[in-house]
Chains A and B, each alone.
Chain A
Amino acid sequence: DGGITQSPKYLFRKEGQNVTLSCEQNLNHDAMYWYRQDPGQGLRLIYYSQIVNDFQKGDIAEGYSVSREKKESFPLTVTSAQKNPTAFYLCASSSQAGVSYEQYFGPGTRLTVT
């Protein structure tokens, strides 16, 4: 079964703690992305990576960090510096080799920080 997996589905943390969200894909896609979704707002890009060992900041990178050590994996760390971390986090991937740049999404992780 090819696709994108995110774990866990729900995550609860205390304020001041760092937390890492997992994203794995077996689609052999080069590019991976992290988005944040808040009620009443569209998806906003946090970080993205076009190739292994390289990544770029998106529109709202402050308080987040990522790594891309393997093609299949793109974990996102929400640090204590992120002021409003409670949100729904979505991971996506796309092939950069074709012509479409079509993105495919995982099921999401809902993070609640209290």
Chain B
Amino acid sequence: KAGVTQTPRYLIKTRGQQVTLSCSPISGHRSVSWYQQTPGQGLQFLFEYFSETQRNKGNFPGRFSGRQFSNSRSEMNVSTLELGDSALYLCASSLTGGGNGYTFGSGTRLTVV
């Protein structure tokens, strides 16, 4: 079966712009989570969606937002980009979230210049 698909793989944006990243989960998985990975902070939780509802949000500013569609695909948006937003953004899907195993996508590498 197809894995978790993230698009695009690479992205270069200018400070102040906004960006939208996409994640298609494994078929049948209803939970989608987003993580940010940087060399300094490691892997940090952004938010989790289940059946189009955000159930949990990490400690990130309001410039980071997301949504989930009825087919479980998810998007995350970052507005007013800052240099510090340069990171690898990883999406994970699971059947129901919480106590289930997570499968990660290949990530989107965002560079802000």
Partners in one complex: no
